[in-house]
Amino acid sequence: MEGSPERHSKKKVVAVVGGGLVGALNACFFAKRGFDVEVFETREDIRQAKIVKGRSINLALSHRGRQALKHVGMEEKIVSQGIPMHARMIHSLSGKQSPIPYGKKGQYILSVDRANLNKELLTEAETYPNTKLNFDHKLQDWSAETGLMTFVRPDGSTEEVEADLIVGCDGAFSAIRKQFLRRSCFNYSQTYIPHGYMELTMPPINGEFAMKANYLHIWPRNTFMMIALPNMDKTFTCTLFMPFEEFEKITTGDEVIEFFQKYFPDTIQLIGADALRRDYFRLPAQAMVSVKCSPYHIGGKCVLMGDAAHAVVPFYGQGMNAGFEDCIVFDEIMDQFNEDFNAVLPEYTRVRVPDDHAIADLAMYNYIEMRAHVNSKWFLFRKHVDNFLHFLMPRAIIPLYTMVTFTRTRYHEAVERWHWQNKVINRGLLFSAAGAVLGGSYVLIKNPPDINKLIVPAEKMWNRLVALRTP
């Protein structure tokens, strides 16, 4: 349902705290409905900043995120600024490259630049006359009862704003969420994984990509891995994921080269030995945190979305997509309850919490898959089996990755269906193998082979081998 200013006799004010990806997109959703929207961001306007602070890790845009962008008319523009990745490209130690397609022909995920996407969404939010962007505004305090917020500016002065709805989109270390922690019956957990990440850049070669562009490149090494995503400027952003203790063992430029020579030898020439020596020590390895909480709301006044509600580790490529889907799910519930915040917010918590917890768990699982399982013959065999069965029975059997990445199947339902499918397929493979053994045994019993016929060819083969070895 599209909104317009005429729908509200007194337009309600929505304050979006956080001007990152989810906050900027949320501003578009609420402005489109006709609310007066104010966005408050602690940082300066990244569109005017010389250096953009914060995470630069590439993003993988897929169906859920695209659907949310489509709702505010941004899908085509963002897609045109991304690079399609049709498959994982697995790099072995020997340098052999093996693609593992993501889905059916024509299905792909998009490598998009985080900073550029954020800038585009802020610019789009600003096109709505009922939206105001406030930068350099740090949240000091707020009230869940009155909706009154106090912000501090860089010069130390404060500003008070009152809103009908406060939307916390201020990231994994949310200032909005701190108020939730003071209230009873609020469940919260955060988990830092023992692995960190470090970004390196692979420059173009003769003005072109150094590797095949339309792939997410992975160097799986069991306990750690490196990935590379393509950028519009023909570079690759390489991200090394590894236990912190392993990062700390490397203390000199020569040790960096030795490490890459041992585990990623094909990348040294592509990244450049001098660049590796220099860039490895430019910043320490960064931490990754997973956050779960519930409920996502307080009364009808405040709601959490994006990383403020559910920060996830980046290994399923769903962090941004889940945050963007928060926006569209909330919008759908707004239609369902006629924009009554007192009804919308509890329903949003009820619907969204199980899904966000499910994707948080899947993201943890997928790290193990990416760094280790992709080397397994059984894993590759099961991929082929799953894809073949999906081709034969597209509605009955759907691979987990397809459900998560190329549909809007609810995350927790996708996990439940995945477990059920695994049981069915594994039992089917077990029965098939047992049937083949029994069938083969029956044929051998009924038609035993003539031993003499087997011995004679074997003797002839042996005599030929002896003759070949005789000088």
Rounded distance, CA 321 to CA 75, Å?
13
- How does DSSP assign 404-454, residue by residue? HHHS---HHHHHHHHHHHHHHHHHHHHHHHHHHHHHHHHHHHHS---HHHH
Structure tokens at 424: 């069915």
**Does the CA dihedral 208-256-375-112 come out positive or negative?**
negative
Which residues, in sequence order, are CB contacts of 1 under 8 Å at separation 6+?
33, 334, 335
Q: Contact, 246 vs 263, CB < 8 A?
A: no
Contact by Cβ (8 Å): 109, 103:
no
Pick from 128, 186, 188: nearest CA to 5: 128
- Contact (CB, 8 A) for 117 and 22: no
Both tokens of residue 427?
A: 């039992």
Domain 5-58+113-191+289-371 classified CATH 3.40.640.10?
no
Place of tokens 């489109």: 32
d(CA 306, CA 296): 10
CA distance linking residue 26 with residue 31, whole number of Å? 8
208 torsion bin: left (phi>0), alpha (psi -120 to 50), beta (else): beta
Q: Which of 109, 47, 55 minimizes the C-alpha distance to 82?
A: 109
What is the SS3 assignment for 228? strand
Question: Do you know the residue count of the chain?
Answer: 471
Residue with tokens 């959490």: 304
Which of 278, 189, 197, 195 shows the shortest CA–CA distance to 238? 197
Give the alpha-carbon dihedral of 202, 206, 208, 210, to 10 degrees. -40
Give pLDDT, residue 7.
43
Nearest to 352 by CA among 405, 296, 400, 409: 296
19 beta partners = none
Cβ neighbours, 10 Å, residue 381: 11
Residue 280: half-sphere exposure toward Cβ, Cα within 13 Å: 26
- The helix (H) or strand (E) run that includes residue 201 is strand 195-202
The domains of the chain are located at: 5-58+113-191+289-371, 195-279, 376-446
Query: What is the bridge-based pairing of β-strands 297-298 and 302-304?
Result: antiparallel
Among residues 258, 13, 40, 63, the alpha carbon closest in space to that of 134 is found at: 40
- The Cα 397–Cα 386 span in angstroms is 7
**Residue 347 exposed, middle or buried by CB count within 10 Å (0-12, 13-18, 19+):** middle
pLDDT of amino acid 443: 67
The closest of 314, 85, 84, 355 to 195, measured between CA atoms, is 314
pLDDT at 210: 97
Q: What is the rounded CA–CA span in Å between residue 86 and residue 406?
A: 12
Q: Counting Cβ atoms within 10 Å, is residue 95 exposed (0-12), middle (13-18) or buried (19+)?
A: exposed
Question: Which residues make beta-bridge pairs with 83?
Answer: 111
Cα-atom radius of gyration of the chain, to the nearest Å?
27
| CB of 122 closer than 8 Å to CB of 47 | yes
Long-range contacts of range 48-54, CB-CB < 8 Å, 24 or more positions apart? 52/115, 54/20
Is residue 138 a contact partner of residue 156, using CB atoms and an 8 Å limit? no
Contact assessment for residue 223 and residue 78, using Cβ atoms and an 8 Å cutoff: no
The continuous run of DSSP H or E covering 196 comes out as strand 195-202
- Three-state DSSP state, 336: helix
- At 9 the pLDDT is 47
pLDDT tens for each residue of the chain, 471 residues long: 444 444 444 689 999 999 999 999 999 999 999 999 999 999 999 999 877 655 566 899 999 999 999 999 999 999 999 999 999 999 999 989 999 888 788 899 999 999 999 999 999 999 999 999 999 999 999 998 899 999 999 999 999 999 999 999 999 999 999 999 999 999 999 999 999 999 999 999 999 999 999 999 999 998 899 999 999 999 999 999 999 999 999 999 999 999 999 999 999 999 999 999 999 999 999 999 999 999 999 999 999 999 999 999 998 989 999 999 999 999 999 999 999 999 999 999 999 999 999 999 999 888 776 666 666 676 667 677 777 777 777 778 888 889 999 999 999 999 999 888 888 887 877 777 777 767 766 666 777 766 555 555 556 665 665 555 555
103 secondary structure, DSSP code: S
